Structure 1
Amino acid sequence: MRGRKSWLEGLRVLRDLEKDAEWGWVLTGELSLRQQRAVEEAAGQGLVELADREMRAELSAYEDRAIRWAARLSPQGHDVLAYTRAGAVPAAQNQDPAHGERLIELYRAELEALSLYVHIADQLRRPAADGLAERVRTARQLGNRWLLRLNEEQIESVAYAFYLRSMGGCATEANRFAREYGVAFHADRATSAVRLTRPE
């Protein structure tokens, strides 16, 4: 099993096992070899934290046995799962947007993905920026696009919403947003962390 399907399975297994994890970490031996590989793939995407040497030593002391591997969901891993299992939300209403911010134009699929993100914001570890939900609700349609005026923090939240969507299936929205507005989240393979980038 490879790619997105593999590490999504790893995230789901980890989430289920974390519920009963005494120390907050899923320990070696609690997953099959295939599941552990899937979790490690997810770690490469910044969606899972793998315990470092110091934490493994601490867990070994708690467990009174050698712990050579342990993992838990990262905040982004939690958010990807919350986003991918959420359902559809009502379409945005046609109202005049607020003024004074940067103009962002979104296609219907992009607005729907963003609407889903603000709809589940209270379930996420990295919630939407203040005021974004209202901007989404008051987006104005012009032809086949919806117009929103957003501040920089809200724009970063849009990029994060599209990042969550890309991790759960479709990267089209994230790729276009990065091209058009220069903002994207991606996994830094050197640190296995999810970072915000603003391409030059």
Structure 2
Amino acid sequence: MTSRGKRSVQDLVGEGLAELADREVRAELSAREGRAVVWAARLTGHGHDVLAYHQASPAPAPHTSPPAGEQAVELRPAQMDALRLYVNPGPAWSVPPAEGLAERVRTALFDRSGNRWRLYLTREQMESAAYAFHLRALTGSVAEANRFAREYDIAYRTDPATGRPSAVTMPWGSPSAAASLPGSPR
């Protein structure tokens, strides 16, 4: 093995992903192989987990235009964190995630250059994402909901007449229409 290859194995050992064989194991391998085994390494349990995780991850898809009826959505990491929390099994939400949203979140691709997660969503899935950001806004951070509403014109607002939140299309550019939105200051 080249020194570069050996250095790579040493890097894996340093990360706890692999372990070097001790003298006893090398002697056993030498007997089995019928030649001297000078060094050997194997994956640790953590190394196997990393490999399995990588193999289970979706392959990066080429940058294409969205399928019919879907829109390309780009989310900042904080938005994706809020969306993951909402789609992961856990609480029995009174407004459950839209069908297929969990799979879209799981297979989203991260663009390092733009620091954005890219996924394609239907209108129903976008409204569901807006609900997740609404929940985040009510529990501490409004940035995710505001950004999503600004970029995709969908937000959740509480209707004062019913006291229930619902998805609304944001009428940007029309102050009178914006003032008539449920939950807007008058």
TM (normalized to structure 2)? Answer: 0.54
Q: Against the structure 1 CA distance between its residues 179 and 121, is the aligned structure 2 distance closer, same or farther, given a 3 Å change threshold? A: farther
Which of 186, 189, 200 is equivalent to 2:157?
Answer: 186
SS of residue in 1 equivalent to 2:80: helix
Give per-residue Cα distances to partners, 1:83-109, cap 9 Å, x unaligned: xxxxxxxxxx56446941200000111
SS of residue in 1 equivalent to 2:97: coil
Asked whether 1:152 is paired with 2:123, we answer yes
CA distance in 2, matches of 1:95, 1:158: 24
Aligned to 1:102: 71
- Runs of 5+ consecutive residues of structure 2 not aligned to the other structure: 1-56, 172-186
Which of 157, 165, 168 is equivalent to 1:197?
Answer: 168
Aligned to 1:127: 96
Q: Greater helix percent: which structure?
A: 1
Asked whether 1:115 is paired with 2:84, we answer yes
Code of the aligned partner of 2:120: R
TM (normalized to structure 1)? Answer: 0.50
Q: Against the structure 1 CA distance between its residues 169 and 94, is the aligned structure 2 distance closer, same or farther, given a 3 Å change threshold? A: farther
- C-alpha deviation, 1:186, in angstroms: 1.0
Question: Aligned pair count?
Answer: 108
CA distance in 1, matches of 2:122, 2:60: 16
Q: Against the structure 1 CA distance between its residues 96 and 153, is the aligned structure 2 distance closer, same or farther, given a 3 Å change threshold? A: farther
- C-alpha deviation, 1:178, in angstroms: 0.5
- Matching of residues 46-65 of structure 1 within 5 Å: none
Code of the aligned partner of 1:138: T
- Matching of residues 67-82 of structure 1 within 5 Å: none
- Runs of 5+ consecutive residues of structure 1 not aligned to the other structure: 1-92
